[in-house]
Amino acid sequence: MKTPFLLKLILFGFLVSSCSSNDDSPAPNPVDPDPTVTAITLSTAVTEVNTDSQVVFSVISNLDTDLSSQSTFKLDGVTTTNPISFNSGRVFSRC
């Protein structure tokens, strides 16, 4: 008589342990609450600039954030505002 009771107890123990939650599985990665900008893209809509024209530049981060208003623009080492006015003829190239 004790054997069926013991067998039922063992089977019940296996059933409980197999249906319990698995605490060993890793938790899903939470969204980074403070993402870091690791790259920026400087762009403009124009492909050719004439003397006495203005060019608006955009600075976009790798997080798709517009950083133009927070950026410092320099032309020949001199800080300038955006849009940049090209008042004299020069040749500029990308670095």
Dump pLDDT digits (tens) for 51-86: 888 888 999 999 999 999 999 988 778 888 888 887
Q: Helix H segments across 1-95?
A: 2-19
CB atoms within 10 A of CB 32: 8
pTM across the whole model: 0.55
Dump pLDDT digits (tens) for 6-17: 666 676 666 656
Q: State residue 60's pLDDT score.
A: 93
Closest CA to 42 of 64, 23, 57: 57
Q: Where are the domains of the chain?
A: 35-87
- The mean of the pLDDT values for the chain is 77
